[in-house]
């Protein structure tokens, strides 16, 4: 099904009915509205204007559209910020972040919680049972514009409260953080300061706790909104729209509050945001890299416990990346089908019509600025609208054979203590995902500690802190497992484990680490054996009582195996990674293919999709009934067949 993001408050009321009718004609069933409309709903404290939203909901509903209503908390209005300046977030340099864009609040402010609860309750009561209302979106893109963490007095107050609950006494806090080092000990929780603005680096244990605290606040704030909505809007579902490559808070935790996860897919914008090489950035500039959107589809399907939407789909060039090229013709259609192939229930485009004013005037919509003329992306959406009807219902998405354990704390820990400048967790996880997808395999993402039942191959690109639950899940797993560098290398308190890394994983893997070396760009350490290639960026010195499957140049173990548990003691280059995953997939009994760089497959029940991101026609192995596209897949097109 298709959807669209719409801002009735941006257009004359006389246009609404026609817009709604044209949406239906395009094959659109869902429309998301309201998420930034606070200043129009409550122009002054307590002076509400619901008339326009009542009429907008009625008009959209009358056209047969189902409404997704956003709570407007991403944009607190000016009068509220003037009344309570302490709501404003503070950056890491200690400067208040001002009014005039969005997301200008800190999750730590008690006043902000009260004000959020107030507006959410008023809106949930008024619209919770509106016949056009299908579901809710809480806030908008938590964490966007670096807003998970704030560094002001409100945050300090809340952090001290959080620490007191967690540690009970300063002795325990001092001990947990290792505060004896550099005389950092505190005598009271009031002595604790935020870990910033110091002469040199701050204590990593303090930073990790500060990050955990802020992440927990995001989940609790979201839950507060969800609880209010559920009370006043029975039978409606709730989602939040997550982002691409934002790891600042634990998405698994926020997901627990929701009925459905959703995410905002800007595949081309993300090429700029990801640490690709210049060559890769240029190669994928107008199509996106073939794994960027799928990586997030699979991640958020996991976060939504099987259910996800695309709440915002890029419809053409965006405005916010350093460069914003026009997507190659066909890509808007391809991305839409790709999301559906990965199990998305709805793909909703951002936005209905390009705004000729304000910050996003360079951002495409399905219609040209201020007009009723479809853009290139709008015409592609129209084609998908027809194709969805022609292809009929798709089979349900099944459990994938491969699981990737994805962990937000590992991201935080490696940002706090990179040890090598280019050790970036999301880069590592993405490369593992890319390599396994090149083998034509479906992938699920799971949180650490989730059951691994039914997975033939389990990939743990890195898991720095291994909880009891995670250890139990690994011990119980039946498949083949691969743990990557730095796994088990820190305790929960950010210390080196007594038995040395991989700490809790020592018994399962048989490995014991004595040294790590980070490698400058251009320096590598060759690896040879059952698999070969090289270590780049990061190399560990490991002893093992297991089998050595590949060795570094000096004879040290690089890849080890003990039963089903394998340990990779480096950041692998492309060749080592591809060979390792191919070898382990075979060991796991999985049938694989070797796909060209620009082709990806995705199976949904008995239907297989193939996507061509490249410049040449690819002859697919389609058998059975082709339900979409052509067997010879042209560039920027898709084929799907039912076996
Ligand atoms: C998203 C956001 C939208 C809009 C869009 C532009 O991050 O949720 O409101 O700003 O980006 O690409």
Ligand 1: atom nearest CA of 241 is 8
**Which entry of 115, 154, 312, 380 is annotated as an active-site residue?**
312
Shared-domain flag, residues 355 and 477: no
> Is the CB of residue 350 below 6 angstroms from any atom belonging to ligand 1?
yes
The CB of 266 under 6 Å from ligand 1? The reply is yes
Question: pLDDT category, 642, cuts 50, 70, 90?
Answer: very high
Is the Cβ atom of 348 under 6 angstroms away from ligand 1? no
Percent over 90 (pLDDT), the chain? 99
Q: Which of 141, 154, 409, 540 is catalytic?
A: 141
Q: How remote is the CA of residue 595 from the centroid of ligand 1, in Å? A: 33
In whole angstroms, what is the distance from residue 405 CA to residue 390 CA? 37
Token pair for 264: 């905002």
Burial of 415 from C-beta contacts in 10 A (0-12 / 13-18 / 19+): middle
pLDDT digits (tens, 9 = 90+) for 21-58: 999 999 999 999 999 999 999 999 999 999 999 999 99
**Average pLDDT, stretch 47-76?**
98
Residue 614 falls within a domain, yes or no?
A: yes
Neighbours of 54 (CB within 10 A): 13
In a domain, 158, yes or no: no
What percent of the chain shows pLDDT beyond 70? 100
Regarding whether 562 and 422 lie in a shared domain, the answer is: yes
- Final residue of a structural domain among 391, 424, 458: 391
Residue where a domain terminates, one of 391, 422, 441:
391
The answer to whether residues 42 and 125 belong to one domain is yes
Q: Between vectors from CA 605 to CA 602 and to CA 611, what angle results, nearest 5°?
A: 20
pLDDT band at 165 (very low <50, low <70, confident <90, very high): very high
460 & 520 share domain? yes
Q: Could you tell me which residues are beta bridge partners of residue 518? A: 538
Q: Is residue 140 in contact with ligand 1, taking CB distance under 6 Å?
A: yes
CATH code (residue 551): 3.40.50.880
Measured in angstroms, how far is the CA atom of residue 350 from the centroid of ligand 1? 8
The mean pLDDT of the chain is: 98
Q: Catalytic: 141?
A: yes
CATH number at residue 360: 3.20.20.80
What domain range is 136 assigned to?
2-77+106-146+235-391
Judged on CB neighbours under 10 Å (0-12, 13-18, 19+), 105 is buried
User: Which of 359, 391, 423 is a domain's end point?
Assistant: 391
**Cβ(363) – ligand 1 distance below 6 Å:** yes
On the CB side of 586, how many CA atoms lie within 13 Å of its CA? 9
Whether the per-residue pLDDT at 86 is higher than 90: the answer is yes
Which residues, including other chains, have CB under 8 Å from residue 185's CB and lie 6 or more apart? 170, 174, 179
| Cα–Cα distance, 3 to 33 (Å, whole number) | 11
Query: What pLDDT digit, counting tens, does each position of 423-473 carry?
Result: 999 999 999 999 999 999 999 999 999 999 999 999 999 999 999 999 999
**What is the band of 552 on the pLDDT scale with cuts at 50, 70, 90?**
very high
Annotated binding-site residue? 102: yes
**Distance in Å, CA 24 to ligand 1 centroid:** 23
Going by alpha carbons, the residue nearest to atom 1 of ligand 1 is: 264
Let me know whether 244 and 307 are in one domain: yes
141 lines ligand 1 (CB under 6 A): yes
Q: How far is ligand 1, taken at its centre, from the CA of residue 351, in Å?
A: 9
Asked whether residue 494 is assigned to any structural domain, the reply reads yes
Residue 241 in contact with residue 136, Cβ under 8 Å? Answer: no
In a domain, 191, yes or no: no
Claim to verify: residue 576 and residue 635 sit in the same structural domain = no
Tell me how far CA of residue 36 lies from CA of 72, 82, 567, in angstroms: 5, 18, 47
Q: What is the pLDDT of residue 77?
A: 98
Question: Within this chain, do residues 112 and 252 fall inside the same structural domain, yes or no?
Answer: yes
Whether 8 maps to a domain, the answer reads yes
Based on the fold, state whether residues 407 and 514 are members of the same structural domain. yes
pLDDT of 244 above 90: yes
* pLDDT in the model for residue 345: 98
Counting the structural domains of the chain, the total is 3
Best residue among 4, 103, 244, 320 to mutate for probing ligand 1's pocket (most ligand atoms within 8 Å of CB) is 320
Q: Are residues 130 and 278 in the same domain?
A: yes
Going by pLDDT thresholds of 50, 70 and 90, the confidence category of residue 273 is: confident
| Residue 361 located in a structural domain | yes
Index of the ligand 1 atom closest to the CA of residue 141: 8
Is residue 300 in contact with ligand 1, taking CB distance under 6 Å? Answer: no
- 260 near 239, Cβ under 8 Å? yes
Q: Determine if residue 618 is labeled as part of a ligand binding site.
A: no
Residue 640 pairs in a beta bridge with: 609, 628
Cα–Cα distance between 458 and 592 in angstroms, integer?
Answer: 15
Mean pLDDT calculated for residue range 534-552: 98
Residue 96 placed within a domain: no
Ligand 1 atom closest to residue 314's alpha carbon, by position in its atom list = 12
Asked whether residue 575 is domain-assigned, the answer is: yes
Is pLDDT of 643 > 90?
no
Is residue 72 located within the same domain as residue 131?
yes
- In the residue annotation, 286 being an active-site residue is answered as no
- Same structural domain, 547 and 634: no
Mean pLDDT of 5-14: 98
Split at pLDDT 50, 70, 90, the class of 329 is very high
Q: Are residues 523 and 623 in the same domain?
A: no
Beta bridge partners of residue 443, listed in sequence order? 402
**Has 140 been labeled as part of a binding site?**
yes
């Amino acid at each position: 099904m298709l959807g669209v993001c719409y801002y009735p408050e941006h257009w004359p009321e006389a246009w609404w009915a026609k817009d709604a009718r044209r949406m239906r004609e395009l094959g659109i069933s869902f429309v998301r509205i309201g998420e930034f409309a606070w200043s129009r709903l409550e122009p002054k404290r307590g002076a509400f204007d619901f008339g326009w939203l009542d009429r907008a909901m009625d008009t959209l509903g009358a056209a047969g559209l189902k409404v997704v209503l956003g709570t407007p908390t991403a944009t607190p209005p000016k009068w509220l910020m003037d009344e309570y300046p302490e709501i404003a977030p503070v950056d890491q340099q200690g400067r208040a972040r001002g009014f005039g864009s969005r997301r200008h609040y800190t999750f730590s402010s008690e006043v902000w919680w009260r004000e959020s609860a107030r507006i959410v309750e008023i809106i949930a009561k008024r619209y919770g049972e509106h016949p056009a209302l299908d579901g809710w979106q809480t806030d908008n893109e938590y964490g966007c514009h670096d807003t998970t963490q704030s560094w002001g007095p409100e945050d300090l107050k809340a952090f001290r409260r959080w620490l007191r609950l967690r540690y009970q006494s300063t002795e325990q806090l001092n001990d947990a953080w290792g505060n004896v080092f550099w005389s950092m000990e505190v005598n009271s929780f009031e002595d604790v300061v935020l870990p910033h603005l110091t002469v040199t680096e701050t204590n990593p244990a303090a930073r990790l706790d500060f990050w955990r605290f802020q992440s927990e606040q995001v989940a609790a704030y979201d839950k507060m909104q969800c609880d209010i909505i559920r009370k006043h809007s029975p039978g409606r579902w709730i989602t939040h729209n997550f982002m691409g490559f934002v790891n600042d808070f634990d998405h698994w935790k926020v997901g627990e509050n929701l009925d459905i996860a959703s995410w905002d897919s800007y595949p081309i914008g993300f090429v700029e945001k990801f640490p690709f090489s210049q060559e890769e950035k240029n190669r994928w500039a107008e199509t996106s890299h073939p794994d960027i959107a799928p990586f997030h589809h699979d991640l958020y399907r996991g976060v939504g416990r099987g259910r996800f939407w695309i709440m915002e789909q890029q419809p053409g060039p965006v405005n916010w990346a350093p460069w914003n090229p026009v997507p190659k013709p066909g890509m808007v259609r391809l991305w839409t089908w790709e999301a559906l192939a990965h199990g998305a229930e709805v793909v909703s485009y951002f936005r209905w019509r390009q705004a000729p004013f304000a910050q996003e005037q360079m951002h495409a919509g399905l219609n040209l600025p201020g007009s009723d003329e479809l853009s290139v992306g709008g015409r592609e959406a129209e084609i998908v609208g027809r194709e969805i009807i022609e292809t009929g219902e798709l089979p349900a998405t099944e459990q994938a054979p491969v699981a990737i354990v994805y962990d937000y704390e590992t991201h935080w820990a490696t940002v706090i203590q990179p040890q090598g400048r280019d050790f970036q967790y999301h880069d590592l996880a993405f490369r593992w995902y890319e390599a396994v997808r090149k083998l034509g395999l479906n992938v699920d993402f799971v949180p650490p500690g989730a059951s691994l039942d039914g997975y033939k191959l389990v990939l743990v690109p890195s898991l720095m802190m291994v909880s009891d639950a995670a250890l139990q899940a690994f011990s119980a797993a039946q498949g083949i497992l691969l743990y990557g560098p730095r796994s088990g290398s820190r305790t929960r308190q950010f210390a080196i484990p007594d038995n040395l890394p991989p700490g809790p994983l020592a018994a399962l893997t048989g490995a014991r680490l004595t040294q790590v070396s980070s490698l400058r760009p251009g320096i590598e350490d060759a690896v040879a054996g059952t698999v070969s290639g090289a270590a780049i960026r990061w190399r560990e010195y490991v002893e093992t009582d297991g089998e050595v499957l590949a060795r570094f140049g000096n004879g040290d173990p690089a890849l080890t195996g003990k039963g089903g548990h394998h340990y990779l003691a480096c950041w692998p280059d492309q060749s080592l990674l591809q060979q390792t995953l191919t070898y382990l997939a075979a060991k796991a009994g999985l049938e694989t293919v070797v796909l060209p760089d620009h082709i990806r497959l995705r199976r949904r029940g008995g239907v297989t999709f193939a996507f061509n991101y490249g410049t040449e026609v690819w002859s697919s192995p389609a058998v059975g009934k082709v339900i979409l596209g052509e067997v010879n897949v042209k560039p920027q097109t898709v084929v799907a067949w039912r076996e």
